[in-house]
Structure 1
Amino acid sequence: MKLRITLLLALVSLSSIVFAQKASLSGKVTDRNEQAVVGATITLKGTVRAAQTNNKGEYVIKGLEKGDYTIVVSFVGLKSKTSQVSLSDNQSVSVDFKLEDDGISLNEVAVSTRRGIKGNETLPDVTDFRINAAKKNELIKLDNINANLAMNNSRQIFGRTPGISIWENDGSGIQLGVASRGLNPNRSWEFNVRMDGYDVTPDPMGYPEAYYTPPMEVVDRIEIIRGASSLQYGPQFGGLMNFVVRKPDISTRLTFESQNTVGSNGLLSTFNYIGGTVGRLSYTAYYQKRRGDGWRDNGYFDTDHAHFELSYAVSKKFKIGTEVTYMTTESQQPGGLTDVQFSQDARQSSRSRNWFSTPWLIPTLNAEYIFNEKTKLSWKAFGTIAERNSVGFVNAITTPDNLGNRQVDRDYYTTYGSELRLLTEYSALGLNNTLAAGVRYFNGHIDRKQQGVGTNGTEMDFNLSSGVYPRDLDFANVNSAAFVENIFHITDKFLVTGGVRLENISSTMEGKFNATSNLAPITRKRNFLLFGAGAEYKITPTTKFYSNISQAYRPVLISDLTPPATTDVIDPNLQDSRGYNFDFGYRGQVSNFLNFDIDYFHLSYDDRIGTIAQRINPNDPTSQTFQFRTNLGRSVSKGFEAYVEVDPVTAIFKRSKVGYVSLFASLAHIDATYQDFKTTSVSNGQIVESNLAGKRVENAPRSINRFGATYSLKGFSMTWQLSQIGKAYADASNTETPNAAATTGLIPAYSVQDLSASYKFLKHYNIKAGVNNLTDERYFTRRAGGYPGPGLMPADGRIAYLSLGVKF
């Protein structure tokens, strides 16, 4: 580690020498009271070069070519300023700025963020080669919330995001399981999950389970666009969830940060980060090590995360970069419980030999070119080399572990892809418009090996004791796509959006189903168009109505093409699920003490896939039955979401010497039901038909309500949060009474509280502490049919943590 840091610092020093012969800009930014403005952004308009002011309000941009530049200085709550400057070779020019208060909207945002309001924000209409206007979206700033980030506590992280349901069976924080609007939270697979705009799932079109989650200590923000992201990012019903990690610090040559956490059940976590900018070169690197024994018996995790990012401004208009992310995990899984076992002792476990591991490598390249002040181009190339490995005793939880040979299942993922995006502003028909367009190519391969006979040991060992894998499947998926979306600014207050996305998917499945049967090769090719439109109208400068409708699409997955048994049949005409998302809402802020976002949504999920019983000879009631997987029906999720946060101290007293209080409510009422969905069962040799119409969609609570309060005074902040989640069902038949194996049955309603606090002192230091599940509630959010169960999966009881940090 010391050698790597030494080499990096040497590279930085060399870069400084190389760029010393170029021109440079420097200066200081202050407010009207002559106080330094820390964190102001200095941009050279029409170029890729930028900087931020340091804690003295100073900035510097080195390595500039000679020429004329327009300097733009901006900071939330203050009026932006511009200045023209001409630079010659080797010339150093100093330009200072004094920013005045913005009396309309930005100042209100600034006052809010400096005082009590600490909640979610919304994305700008246009950002990062993407159009967000008229869409339901949230921007979760991790610095704004008190949460157990060392453990990726999703209940706190998404606490202010209405309608988010969470599976809390993985206390290690290795994987997030979240969804919205009645969709399935299984490894967040209904979202298009990305990091810095790159794919991080094995295959968004064939196996979208998110096994990789970045450490929240390095995540700057989480961008969520519900439903209507399909035009620009893919057809998923849930929309986009993009983790944006911290970018290189452009205010200094070197920033160093270390955050070290201890907690209940042997938790030890260390997070270390460096970053900075020298001339045209910017860099970041981080490493996180986290281990613990878990809340339940036979629970253990050990994870390592590493990330490196380097970007270089080749010229004032062209920038290139690379990112490399690596994760390795070792996780012992306690398995599931029966309902009786859960009521006796939720911490017990009868599975001591179940292990899970997901080594993950994501290399990427990127480039950005700015043609002029209105048009720019972005290119990203990315790949994934990863695995999903499990070994254990996987029989029903009612079957005791015989300590014999365990089952080994392994997936190998190899993917690569590329995206090219264009963003431009133009005038036509007397209107000022913004156009976003792009093309995408993805090539993914999954090598799936299952049902191997493993060792009879107790440790994590994926070796086979004998033979080969009875099931050995290959799944290949090639996806090409193109999209275009446009903002039409009808007036200063009213805009409309419209767009279309073209998708081409080619999927191939082949291989060995078991030791004696090969799977007939399956190839599926399809093309489809997605359309979307939206509108936005400003009622005041800080509030607006918004609405959008966008088609959605759920491609046939690898699991849909894999029959559970050799006698099962896959419909050769199996269709991809289709539908649409609709939103209508009102959001904004009132003065500097109230933020809100209230909306109605409607999600139609058509051509859902399921399995029914059929006879080999339909005309012979005595012929043999088989299971047939096909498109069976439709579900609809509709309801209301609301987020409100208010700072009563600011509202009443304007200013306070004893601190500020923020109160928030995140509310969702979700009616997720099946409209028409055929089912069958076999009773006494007869096929009995029925229908799920009117049944609630599984894993979809009707109410998801979270409330909280934050008190802040100077460097101190403390947040209390209450989560109240309604009941749900583990199966589509809405079974109330659990079965013996605890894989079906009711998932009862529950309430859980969290308390977290932080204190920043002496400029460079911080201390964080908290208690999750404050009242030590016993509850569960999931009944699992397979890994990490099977059985009922208890959530963690009360745990505490303490963290010390330093930043220079």
Structure 2
Amino acid sequence: MMKKIISTLLLLNGILHFSNAQEVQVQHTQQADTLTSSQYLPDVTVVGRESRHDIQQMPEVVGTHIFAGKKNALVVIDNVNGNIVMNNMRQVLAKVPGIHIWESDGSGIQIGIATRGLSPNRSWDFNVRQNGYDISADPYGYPEAYYHPPLQAVQRVQIVKGAGSLQFGPQFGGMINYVIRNGSEINKRFSFETQQTTGSFGLINTYNAIGGKGKKSNYYAFFDHRDGDGWRENSRYKTNTAYATYNYQVNDKLKAGVDVLHYEMLSQQPGGLTDAQFAVDAKQSFRSRNWFNMDWTMASANLDYKVNDNNTLNLKVFGLKGDRNSVGYLGNISMPDTINTATLQYNNRTVDIDEYRNAGAELRYLSNYKLGKFFNTLTLGARYFHGSTHRLKNGKGDAGLGFNLDVLSPYPQLTDFKTDNVAFSVENIFRFGKRFIVIPGARFESITGKAAGRLNFNADGTENKIGEMTKGRTFILGALAAEYHIGKATEVYGNITQAYRPIQFADLTAAPTTDIIDPNLKDAKGYSADLGYRGKVKNYLMFDVDAFYLNYDNRIGSITQMRADNTTYNFRTNVGSSHSKGFEGLVEFNPFQAGWFGKKFGELSVFTSYSYTNAVYDNFKIITKDINNHLVETNLKNKKVENAPENIVRAGITYMYKTLAVTGQVSHVSKTFSDANNTVTPNAAGTVGLIPAYTIGDISLAWKFKENYNVKAGVNNFANAKYFTRRAGGYPGPGLMPADARGFFVSIGAKF
């Protein structure tokens, strides 16, 4: 292992010396309306200030990252006309084709998105980042993103589909990065902004921020508070988010910055419903004592060192301290949570606690150099990550009503998980003339996961410990991308990139008497590919259409096996594969900008975003035990992958007159299955069964006046559609999880 790391470092060092020896001045152009592929941007900058466009193509290079040849999108939050306060992702990401969204949390606290037939569960098939560093619980062993920033504080959202694994690591879905405001766009020493929002279901939100820029520094800080009653019964919530960042230009070459964030949240969980209960009243709840809490602190330090005009180094060091806590009655939703007649009290609740302690660093280098007659761009990356998760589960809690994490006896399950990762990446833009570029790349990964602890207590009081597990592995991912520029603003692009999904913590824990983990268990691996055509025509037409293919091998699951004494056990191993293929397309057109009509009374812009996904299992072995204690083998081949709708359509029209904008949007998601067996008829508990197709409409308005003031308003789900987007087998259900009915918001803001 050490020899591989040393050899890689020596290779990178040689490349650095080579690129420095080939220095060349690269000219960069700026356009007020949009970003072209020839522009180079720092990691935080102003995008779209002179434009009303809320969607852009990423430039070829941003900071020290290469985005050329990849399926990507840049969402400018200031220009999104939607319910930003509630993190309404179907409006924010409406123009990113194929984003599947779980809408079971109307508060906007828990965001679940996916693409290309992957799972939206807390966005765990995306590598989720803020300001370029990881914010999920553990990006390798437990990649659920419990925290997402309030979108009012976000300047832009960067999305890379599929090919994000090369520069950013796991997952199959790609990368999503929330870039927080940093004050660099403020042209005075002190500025204050405020946005006050109210709305349906007791919504109150206050966002207040200060920021400024001096000769050598810029800063920004905000505090966001949101609380409400929620649409469903027993859905109260409140969140507080505080953030501060400071950046200082030490000299012409060195810039340093720090940021720190603290987030806390408390949310009442109404639980799921059966299909019969949903049909009667989707608003009702049968869980009044379930609570979910988070306490999240993150910090990072950033150094940018400009070696010369063509060579840049970036170092980012980051840390996370997060606690995820829940208490509630988690029985089947058909079992009422009522007072026990024997004790005259409620039954005891279950307490679960996760403590995440992570630290990491990423060093990146970008070089523009000349090879022969052509200008080229090289980027190198090195990464270290250590994650620690302390998990306490199934604690016997109190019989009360409110949020209380006290337990009456030791936790039955107490486990510790460790993750260590070292990675190196290299990618290079080779230019062949003015039109054609090729971008090969590779990534070296070394991952070690460890698990230890107990699963429960035996009847005699002894500990039922898990078999201590250490899983280490190294591998190399490869990628190749290309672009052919047809004109100044249109291009054909394509890529094929290997990807992986690391073995999860749950795959490293097994009860010794009932479960066995395959000693040869492997990470899920595969690849994704894109072939597309994108660009814009002047300022009136933007488009991006592509075909994609995603191969997902070594999926992990459990199969029943039999011992020599005819007893059975669950064998956790790699059981099969799946693939997704389809089409994604976005077209946005403004006939007024095209000169078809005059602009005396304003202008209209229309868009359509559509995706078709065919996600199926290729070979997925299942072995179960029948009532006669015989093993029965079946296969999920040609079954549809769960939570993978075939069609997602989002279309809208925006009317603009001076500083007024009114947007109407319709979203349609086709039916999908909630389990791999493709069960159509729901079970009695509502945990499996078909998820029907649904169509939702939203209307939003934004008006800026007297330069410093704004009014925003909107109606979400204006037709009051009754629908749900997921079924949960456990928390936060169990049962089907209804989405919110019609609701409104009104917001008033000012900047000084």
Give your verdict on TM over 0.5: yes
Deviation at 1:681, TM superposition (A): 2.5
Match of 1:143 among 78, 92, 110: 78
Distance across 1 between alignment mates of 2:62 and 2:28: 17
Question: Which whole-Å deviations, capped at 9, do the CAs of 1:494-526 have from their partners, x for residues lacking one?
Answer: 000011100000111000111130112100010
1:150 aligned counterpart, secondary structure: coil
Q: Specify which of 562, 569, 572 is matched with residue 626 of structure 1.
A: 569
**Alignment of structure 1 residues 309-388 onto 2, 5 Å:** 309-388=245-324
Give a deviation string over 1:447-498, Cα, whole Å, max 9, x none: 000000001111111111x111000000000000001100001110100001
Which position in structure 2 is the counterpart of 1:175?
Answer: 110
1:233 aligns with 2:168: yes
Structure with bigger gyration radius: 1
SS of residue matched to 1:217? helix
Counterparts of 1:460 and 1:303 in 2: how far apart (Å)?
15
* CA distance in 1: counterparts of 2:217 and 2:176, whole angstroms: 29
Cα distance in 2 between the residues matched to 1:666 and 1:255: 37
Number of residue-to-residue matches in the alignment: 705
Q: What is the rounded CA distance, in whole Å, between the counterparts of 2:509 and 2:731 in structure 1?
A: 17
Question: How is 1:538-549 mapped onto 2 (pairs within 5 angstroms)?
Answer: 538-549=485-496
RMSD: 2.0
User: 8 Å contact 1:235–1:551 — kept in the other structure?
Assistant: no
Q: Deviations over 1:694-720 (max 9, x none)?
A: 000000001111110111111100111
Determine which of 111, 118, 123 is the counterpart of 1:188: 123
CA 1:371–1:588: 2 relative to 1, 3 Å? same
Partner Cα distance (1:187, 1:124) in 2? 28
Distance in 1, Cα, partners of 2:181 & 2:731: 33
Report what 1:522 is aligned to: 469
Q: Write the deviation string for residues 401-445 of structure 1: whole angstroms up to 9, x where unpaired.
A: 142110000000001000000001001133211000010000000
Distance 1:375 1:460, change over 3 A: same
2:526 is paired with a residue of what secondary structure? strand
Deviation at 1:79, TM superposition (A): 13
Distance 1:77 1:694 in 2: 47
- Counterpart of 2:612 in structure 1 is 669
Post-superposition offset of 1:565: 8.6
Partner of 1:272: 208
Structure 2 counterpart SS, 1:335: coil
Give 2:230's aligned amino acid.
Answer: G
| Cα deviation code 1:64-91 (max 9, x no counterpart) | xxxxxx99994515999xxxxxxxxxxx
Q: For residues 71 and 186 of structure 1, what CA distance do their matches in structure 2 show?
A: 43
> Is residue 2:691 matched to residue 1:747?
yes
**Shift in Å, 1:688:** 1.3
Q: Out of 469, 475, 478, which is 1:531 matched to?
A: 478
Tell me the alpha carbon deviations over residues 20-73 of structure 1, each in whole angstroms, 9 at most, x when there is no partner: xxxxxxxxxxxxxxxxxxxxxxxxxxxxxxxxxxxxxxxxxxxxxxxxxx9999
Match of 1:569 in 2: 516
Which residue identity lines up with residue 323 of structure 2 in the other structure?
E
Give, in whole Å, the separation in 2 of the partners of 1:643 and 1:757. Answer: 23
Give yes or no for contact 2:591–2:597 (8 Å, CA) kept in 1.
no
In the alignment, does 2:11 pair up with 1:76? no
Looking at structure 2, the residues matched to 519 and 763 of structure 1 have their Cα atoms a distance apart, in angstroms, of 63
The match for 1:479 is: 421
- Quick check: 2:35–2:57 contact (8 Å CA) kept in 1? no
CA 182–568 in structure 1, closer or farther in 2 if over 3 Å, else same: same
| Alpha-carbon contact 2:139-2:170 (below 8 Å) kept | no
- Alignment of 1:215 with 2:215, yes or no, is no
- Select which of 392, 397, 415 maps to 2:358: 415
Whole-angstrom distance in 2 between the partners of 1:418 and 1:489: 31
Partner of 1:251: 187
Whether the 8 Å contact between 2:126 and 2:170 is mirrored in structure 1 is: no
Choose from 477, 497, 521 the match for 2:439: 497
Is contact 2:34–2:56 with CA below 8 Å preserved after alignment? Answer: no
Change (3 A) 1:614 1:591: same
> 1:533, CA displacement in angstroms?
0.6
Would the aligned equivalents of 2:35 and 2:56 in 1 still touch at CA under 8 Å?
no
Q: Does 1:129 align with 2:64?
A: yes
Shift of 1:248: 1.4
C-alpha offsets along residues 528-576 of structure 1, whole Å, 9 cap, x if unaligned? 1000011100111110000000000000011222337951222121110
Is 2:453 aligned against 1:511?
Answer: yes
For the pair 1:550 / 2:497, whether they are aligned, the reply is yes
SS at match of 1:371: strand
The correspondence of residues 440-451 of structure 1 with structure 2, limited to 5 A, is 440-451=383-394
Query: Aligned AA for 1:451?
Result: N
Aligned-partner Cα distance in 1 for 2:35–2:477? 40
Please list every run of 5 or more consecutive structure 1 residues that lacks an aligned counterpart in the other structure: 1-69, 81-101, 103-109
Q: Separation in 2 of the partners of 1:352 and 1:614?
A: 41
1:791 to 713, 717, 735: 735
Distance 1:273 1:568, change over 3 A: same
Q: Distance between the aligned counterparts of 1:807 and 1:72, measured in 2?
A: 32
Amino acid at match of 1:687: L
- Alignment match, 2:228: 292
Alpha-carbon offset, residue 202 of structure 1: 1.6
Letter matched to residue 342 of structure 1:
F
State how far apart, in whole Å, the 2-side matches of 1:119 and 1:198 are: 24
Q: Residue type matched to 1:550 in 2?
A: T
CA distance in 1, matches of 2:728, 2:532: 35
Letter in structure 1 aligned against 2:694: Y
In the TM superposition, residue 399 of structure 1 has moved relative to its aligned partner by: 1.0
Name the SS of the counterpart of 2:612 in structure 1.
strand
Cα contact 1:119–1:645 (8 A) shared by 2: no
CA distance in 2, matches of 1:606, 1:168: 29
Give the aligned residue type for 1:724: H
Q: 1:513 touches 1:566 (CA, 8 Å); kept in 2?
A: no
TM-score normalised by length of structure 2: 0.92
1:261 aligns with 2:197: yes
Task: Give the letter aligned to residue 259 of structure 2.
Answer: E
CA drift of 1:654 comes to 6.0
Structure 1 counterpart of 2:474, one-letter code: N
Counterpart of 1:605 (choices 538, 552, 562) is 552
Are the aligned partners of 2:311 and 2:367 in contact in 1 as well (CA < 8 Å)?
Answer: yes
Give the Cα–Cα distance (whole angstroms) in 1 for the partners of residues 130 and 154 of structure 2: 9
What secondary structure sits across from 1:163 in the alignment? coil
- Does the 8 Å CA contact 1:148/1:756 hold for their aligned counterparts? yes
- Partner of 1:531, secondary structure, is strand
Any idea what SS the aligned residue of 2:277 has? Answer: helix
Paired AA for residue 368 in structure 1: D
The answer as to 2:630 corresponding to 1:686 is yes
Mapped pair 1:758 → 2:696: no
Task: Check conservation: 2:535, 2:544, Cα contact below 8 A.
Answer: yes
Aligned-partner residue type, residue 84 of structure 2 = L
Aligned to 1:778: 722
Paired residues of 2:32 and 2:50 also in contact (CA < 8 A):
no
In the aligned structure 2, how far is the partner of 1:558 from the partner of 1:714? 54
Task: Tell me the SS of whatever aligns to 1:648.
Answer: coil
Range with bigger deviation, 118-127 or 481-490 = 118-127
SS in 2 for 1:649: coil
- Judged with a 3 Å threshold, the aligned counterparts in structure 2 of structure 1 residues 564 and 592 are, in CA distance, closer, same or farther, namely farther
The secondary structure found in structure 1 opposite 2:466 is strand
The equivalent residue for 1:99 is none
